[in-house]
Amino acid sequence: MTAKIARFLEEVRPVTPCVVVDLDVVRDNYLGLRRWLPLADVYYAVKANPAPEIVRMLTALGSNFDVASRGEIDLCLSSGVSAENISFGNTIKKQRDIAYAYEKGVRLYAFDCEAELEKLAEAAPGSRVFCRILMTCDGAEWPLSRKFGCEIDMARDLLVRARDLGLDPYGVSFHVGSQQTDLSQWDIAVGKAAMLFTALDAVGVELRMVNLGGGFPARYRSDIPAVERYADAVMSAMTNHFGNNIPAMIIEPGRSLVGDAGILETEVVLISRKGYDEDVRWVYLDVGKFGGLAETMDEAIKYRILTTRDGDDTAPVVLAGPTCDSADILYEKSNYEMPVSLKVGDKVRILSTGAYTTSYSAVNFNGFDPLKAYFI
């Protein structure tokens, strides 16, 4: 909670719910990452918070951009980003969207299967491509499932095929899972990448880049290792597996740049009990799972929450959103407590909500407007 955000909320008193993002925090996070991982090129994962204000600031600071769609390419280009600083990092792309990106000058693409490679060869000839490999992602709060990436032996064959199709087999990417707190996962992943470098070298394909993905965390309810420790883990893994022949490195931070920069202000709409024998209060906020807090799905991300009555005695609560959807419950099993003195109409602040909130918000579910955001 920065003084700048506190002052803004005090002076402007915006209608709730809304997110306020302190751009100074984003800048400091970016500069911190650059300082601790100077060898890595930063590609900001635009999906984390696609605000033009953030993209404009980061491009001025020298950042590159990882985009998921044609829409995000347009956003970057119209915010002053050069096409050569864009990576089309989604492994799932329509061929006409690849053609669009190529026509705009984008020359760096992700893939994880043969069909995607064929689209790239046709619509983005000669481009640098990197193959995403599967990771198991133990330890991540928002685990990545098996949706992206392929097994390592398939990756080897695909990178050879990329060359044969006239593409430039540039490197390997992986993702250790968003909000990853087990630092040893980087060593395992980089080890796999290094094995691929060796295997490809043996057949005359020289890979030159390792894309370490995202996974650096924002600070939610649990304390997390600082960015320095992450940087150390990454660099140890790189030197461990590549010696003094370290390839180009890309990181794709999203959450770790913008998460902590945002505060969501919300209002208590209702407090109730379900029966006379029930100890737990239900606290209903004017924001919920469909209004921007989608990452509370399965109570995965546990936000820190402040009230104006902190310090008073607390008791257990279930936290829920304002819609008529019974699935719109934020926390029922995560043992949240709130002050006994909490009242209907109180303002509540949800911390570290700068990432994956505004753009997740439903367009008009239950007749509620999408989540508003301010960038200061």
| Stretch 117-136 residues interacting with its own copies (CB under 8 A) | 119, 134
Residues 164-203 that bind its own copies (CB under 8 A): 178
Query: Please, which residue, 243 or 345, has the CB nearer to its own copies?
Result: 345
- Taking the C-alpha atoms of residue 37 and residue 252, their distance in angstroms, rounded to an integer, is 12
Q: State how far the Cα of 177 lies from the Cα of 180, in Å rounded to an integer.
A: 5
Q: Does 328 bind its own copies (CB under 8 A)?
A: yes
Range 132-161, binding its own copies (CB under 8 A): 134, 142-151, 153-154
Catalytic residue among 113, 131, 150, 324: 324
* DSSP code string of 154-201: HHHHHHHHHHHTT-EEEEEE----EEE--THHHHHHHHHHHHHHHHHH
**Which range of residues in 5-13, 23-31, 99-107, 358-366 is near its own copies by CB under 8 A?**
358-366
Map the footprint of its own copies across residues 285-324, applying CB under 8 A: 286, 290, 294, 297, 320, 322-324
Question: Hey, which residues between 10 and 49 contact its own copies (CB under 8 A)?
Answer: 45-47
Span interacting with its own copies, options 3-11, 87-95, 225-233, 309-317, rule CB under 8 A: 87-95
> Coil, helix or strand for 264?
strand
Sign of CA dihedral 358, 140, 210, 146: negative
Q: How many angstroms separate the CA atoms of 131 and 137, rounded?
A: 17
Segment near its own copies (CB under 8 A); pick from 33-41, 121-129, 215-223, 325-333: 325-333
What is the distance between the alpha carbons of residues 265 and 7, in angstroms, rounded to a whole number?
13
Least Å distance between CB 18 and its own copies?
14
Residue 329 within binding range of its own copies, rule CB under 8 A: yes
CB 256 within 8 A of CB 33: yes
346 interacts with its own copies by CB under 8 A: no
Q: Can residue 270 be called a binding residue for its own copies (CB under 8 A)?
A: yes
Give the Cα separation of 138 and 176 in Å (integer): 8
Residue 115 touches its own copies, criterion: CB under 8 A? yes
The pattern of x and - marking residues 65 through 84 that bind its own copies according to CB under 8 A reads --xxxxxxxxx---------
Stretch that binds its own copies, among 26-34, 224-232, 236-244, 269-277 (CB under 8 A): 269-277
- Is 324 marked active-site? yes
Number of Cβ within 10 Å of residue 3's Cβ equals: 8
Residues 6+ apart with CB under 8 A from 35: none
Q: Are 263 and 353 in contact (CB under 8 A)?
A: yes
364 belongs to the binding site for its own copies (CB under 8 A)? yes
Catalytic sites, residue numbers: 324
